[in-house]
């Protein structure tokens, strides 16, 4: 893994973490005080599902980006020339 790959991975992780944090904050701001205490398991499920949706939304973009980077490697270019 090159330093550019590590940098991109770190950027992707930071972006996902920020998106998940934003989604979590949005959910927490939308509930009434004490509402989370009435169903802690349900609240945890909603937060986990929101995180999953955030990751799934980013996955397609990440895959496209990764495939694009792979397509520009020396090995891929050599294979294309064959």
Q: pLDDT of 48-74, one tens digit each?
A: 998 888 888 888 777 777 666 666 667
Report the helix count and the strand count for the chain, using DSSP H and E.
4, 0
Two tokens, residue 4: 């550019």
Task: Give the separation between CA 73 and CA 6, rounded to whole angstroms.
Answer: 16
**Rounded to a whole number, what is the distance in angstroms from the first to the last CA of the chain?**
25
The string over 42-62, giving b where at least 16 C-beta atoms fall within 10 Å of a residue's C-beta and e elsewhere, is: ebeeebeebbeebeeeeeeee
pTM of the model: 0.58
């Amino acid at each position: 893994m090159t330093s550019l790959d590590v940098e991109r991975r770190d950027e992707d992780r930071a972006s996902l973490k920020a998106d998940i944090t934003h989604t979590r904050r949005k959910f927490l701001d939308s509930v009434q005080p004490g509402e989370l205490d009435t169903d802690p398991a349900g609240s945890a499920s909603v937060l986990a599902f929101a995180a999953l949706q955030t990751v799934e939304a980013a996955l397609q973009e990440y895959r496209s980006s990764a495939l694009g980077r792979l397509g520009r490697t020396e090995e891929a270019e050599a294979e294309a020339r064959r």
